[in-house]
Amino acid sequence: MTKKELNNIKDRIVKCLRSHRLNDTFKMLKSLAEPLNLWDLNENIRRVEESYLMMLKYSIDGIEDPNRENVYAGIVSSIYQILDVIIRETLKKEQAISIYFSTLRFKEMQRGVTISQMLTDYAEKCNQLSMFNLITEGENEKMNKQERVLANETLAIDIFDKIWVTYPLAIEDEVAISDALESQVYPVYFKQLLVSALFLGLLMFYDEARLKILLGAYRNREERVAVNALCAIVVSLIENQDRLSDKKLLNQINALRDIPQWHKDVKMVYMQLVKSCDTERVSRKMQDELLPEMMKLRPDLSKKIKNNIEIIDISSMDENPEWQEIIENSGIADKMRELTELQQDGSDVFMSTFAQLKSYPFFAKVANWFLPFYVEHSEVVSALGGNDSVVGELIASSPFMCNSDKYSFALTMKSIPESQRTMMMSQMNEQNVNIAELRNADIFASDKARENSANKYIQDIYRFFKLYRNKEDFEDPFKSIRDVPENTILSEEFSDVEFLSLVGEFYFKRKYYNDAFKIFDALSQKMPPSAQLFQKMGYAMQQQGKISDALTYYEQSELLNSDNVWTLRHIAYCHKLLGNITSALDYYKRVEDADFENLSVAMNIGHCYLLQERYEDALKYYYKVEFLDEKSTKAWRPIAWCSLLSKDFEQSEVYYNKIINNSPESIDYLNMGHLNLAMGNYKRAVEDYKKSITLDNNNMSNFIKAVNADTQYFEKMGIDTRILPFIIDAVQYSLTD
């Protein structure tokens, strides 16, 4: 049975559970479990079903049981766990090809090796290495130290893999991991790695023991461990909303709510997760807008550099006004400023840059995607060399790169020639790069430090699920992040107006209008009616093409603030799109009363009159636009067309000639052809039509469609439509001459 087939059955079982149809659920469980022929599993199903039948009997007999709800929740929880065991055992039995099951099968070959033993072994190795560092290093000692370091790194990855694929965690495993997270023997980066192993395993198969360890780790004295644990907790709770029924677990979460920092931290972490949803848009902006523009700019800058051969230091470019003007005029400066603002706001602007640098063998191991960067790591030492500690410290101190990007950057340094690397080192020394100042920057203030830690850890997680070479083996948790969890254990944290407003504004500002509307809709039920909120709900609907819905919300906004010009304009626009021209005209008139010289409003009033065939009224407004903005050409086309429809051919010709002499488009020659048809100038009409077709890539089919669409206006222009077939044939013959 394939993973896809299993998931389909799982979905059916979950649907039955949510519908409280446990009879069907047990039937499907037994059917799934039968091929496995596992006595313990079958016995577990039988025991849980008996508990349910007993509860069912008491309920039918009318026996009151105040604990019935908790018993039922426990039964459902047991069914979910049985389902996970069945899926896991089925895939393992059928030799599922995935990194998880390959690792699982390998670990099962190492019989008798427990998590507790591995952690004890790692602690001893850490102590030995610490003592070894105190010894004066000769050549032999250096070799011995390198071997010990590599052995430690290998064991750390083995422990990660062991915790990741062990399911469910036994009580002794739970105790050993919890103790390790509290112990001062283990390095902080190793504790963070333990958190990631728990998290990744929890995403594969729900395990309350893992969640309990993570909840305990939130109280860890090491801030980085606590923040990483909280990120894992929030994602896991969102992913497993149906699974939280254990009373001890719920009590543990409620106890954390007594910590003042908890509510603030949970919201902060969720906000960082929300920001991760914007990564693809930011990456596209880099790839599709900024980088192509910079490539276009290269010839101009190269020319300037050649013309100024005395310039040696490229950093002096920003002091040259002429070059700065090139950058400003190109529009790159604006895009750079926007990206800088996004970065300062916590957006991931480096994803596209480092995506190409994840092919190193280092990233073949799952654990290394979650490994905090430290300069003593053997890969870093090998990449940077023994004398590049300044570069290593700079990388480690960067508040802008996540850990996997730091490793990518360090590994890339290995491919840089020694001479260039030496030059980089000397430039850094000359510029007095102060690592201490970087470490003490504002971003490392208490709250900012927690936020930055969460931001960077989530970026590490995001990169793994998006860039890991076997990412198809994993369910991407970021697909379900956008919807703020409702009716879940975290509802209390996510339900206040201030937080929902923050999330809604984030989506709205970045044009995720469907997500923004959902948040605003939830907000509208939690706060007094707000004209501004209804405006945004209307706009979100409008941007999705749901014009009727948009109009409804705009009208609600108008009820609360009847004089808001922005609202009136959008109501008018929606009426116009819906074909309610009279209503649209009424609203545009109200806007005109408030903003008489607004050209856009005048133009739209003209369009409404045109649609009502009130050509004289329409022309008055088009002339108004032309009068108020003499340099603009935007009124020329509607004046020409309106004059044509009202049979003022002389005036229409004046304006079409203006258009033709300016920047004509295919449709302008088409309409000029209509004008000449109306005036009886058939030869000129044929020539105009030929030019229209030429500008439309010689697409004769488009031309015929356009003429047929315009025949509804020909009677108003006084054109005898019987001439059209001859005109079209004449055009076709002349094009082939």
Give residue limits of the domains in the chain.
3-96, 114-276, 279-347, 664-737
Q: Quick one: tokens of 264?
A: 């603030």
Q: Give just the sign of the alpha carbon dihedral 8, 9, 14, 20.
A: positive
Mean pLDDT, residues 141-165 taken together? 89
The three-point CA angle 453-457-460 to 5° equals: 145
Helix (H, G, I), strand (E, B) or coil at 121: helix
pLDDT at 321 over 80: no
- Of the candidates 505, 509, 510, 539, the one whose C-alpha atom is nearest the C-alpha of residue 523 is 505
Q: Is 288 exposed, middle or buried (0-12, 13-18, 19+ CB in 10 A)?
A: exposed
State pLDDT tens for residues 335-368: 556 666 777 777 888 898 899 899 999 999 999 9
Q: What is the pLDDT of residues 203-213, one digit of tens each?
A: 999 999 999 99
Which pLDDT value is given to residue 241?
A: 82
Pairwise pLDDT comparison (417 vs 492), residue with the higher score: 492
- Predicted confidence at residue 578, as pLDDT, reads 97
Q: What is the distance, to the nearest Å, from the Cα of residue 477 to the centroid of all Cα atoms in its chain?
A: 12
Instruction: Say which residues have a Cβ less than 8 Å from residue 683's Cβ, sequence separation at least 6.
Output: none
Four-residue CA torsion sign, 294, 296, 299, 304? negative
| Mean per-residue pLDDT over the chain, rounded | 87
Closest CA to 459 of 275, 671, 319: 275
Rounded (10°) CA dihedral 52, 56, 62, 63: -20
Q: From CA 217, how far away is CA 161, in angstroms rounded? A: 19
The span from the CA of 30 to the CA of 15, in Å, is 17
User: In this model, does residue 123 exceed pLDDT 80?
Assistant: yes
Amino acid at 18: R
Q: Distance between CA atoms of 291 and 278, rounded to whole angstroms?
A: 19
Q: State percent of the chain over pLDDT 90.
A: 66
- Greatest Cα pair distance, the chain, in angstroms, is 105
Angle separating helix axes 513-524 and 531-543, nearest 10 degrees = 150
Cβ proximity of 204 and 240 under 8 Å: no
Which two tokens mark 691? 């030019």
pLDDT per residue as tens digits for the range 466-482: 999 999 999 999 988 87
Question: For residue 641, what are the contacts with CB-CB under 8 A and spacing of at least 6?
Answer: 610, 652, 671
DSSP, res 580: -
Radius of gyration of the chain (CA): 35
Residue whose structure tokens are 């004398």: 387
